């Protein structure tokens, strides 16, 4: 009887530890976005069961950055040089495997 009680206590403790150690990716990504410098622009947050990513860019529009919350690393995504007819890059979307960059030919006054 005593060994069953000890075994149940160990199993319950193990389950509690395993569930409480899970990272809160939503909280971590929100914290990262809040701590971005004012010069950076937040683009998109990919938050699902598989991917936990935050995309942002600097004002130059020469590259986008992807912060992987799970691995705690930042990857630079260089925008390929395109002909002027395509315009300038203005937006990004996608996930870990695919990235879409939107361009515009409309000139904006800054």
Task: Encode pLDDT of 52-80 as tens digits.
Answer: 888 888 877 677 888 998 888 998 887 66
pLDDT < 50 positions in the chain: none
Is residue 34 assigned to a domain? yes
**Within-domain flag for 61:** yes
Helix (H) or strand (E) holding 19: helix 2-20
In a domain, 65, yes or no: yes
pLDDT of residue 81: 66
d(CA 42, CA 68): 14
Buried b (16+ CB within 10 A) or exposed e, 32-68: beeeeeeeeeeebbbeeeeebbbbbbeeeeeebbbbe
pTM of the model: 0.59
| Structural domain containing residue 43 | 24-104
Residue 87 lies in a domain: yes
Question: What local confidence, expressed as pLDDT, does residue 40 receive?
Answer: 86
For residue 91, the surrounding DSSP H or E stretch is strand 88-94
Residue 98 forms part of a structural domain:
yes
Which candidate, 40, 45, 37, places its Cα nearest to that of 61?
40
Radius of gyration of the chain (CA): 22
């Amino acid at each position: 009887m005593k060994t069953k009680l000890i075994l149940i206590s160990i199993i319950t403790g193990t389950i509690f530890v395993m569930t409480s150690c899970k990272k809160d990716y939503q909280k971590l990504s929100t914290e990262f976005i809040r701590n971005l410098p004012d010069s950076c622009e937040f683009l998109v947050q990919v938050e699902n069961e598989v991917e936990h990513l935050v995309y942002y860019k600097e004002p130059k529009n020469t590259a986008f950055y992807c912060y992987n919350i799970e691995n705690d690393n930042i990857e630079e995504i260089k925008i390929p040089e395109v002909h002027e007819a395509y315009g300038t890059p203005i937006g990004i979307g996608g996930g870990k495997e695919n990235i879409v960059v939107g361009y515009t030919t409309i000139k904006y006054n800054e």
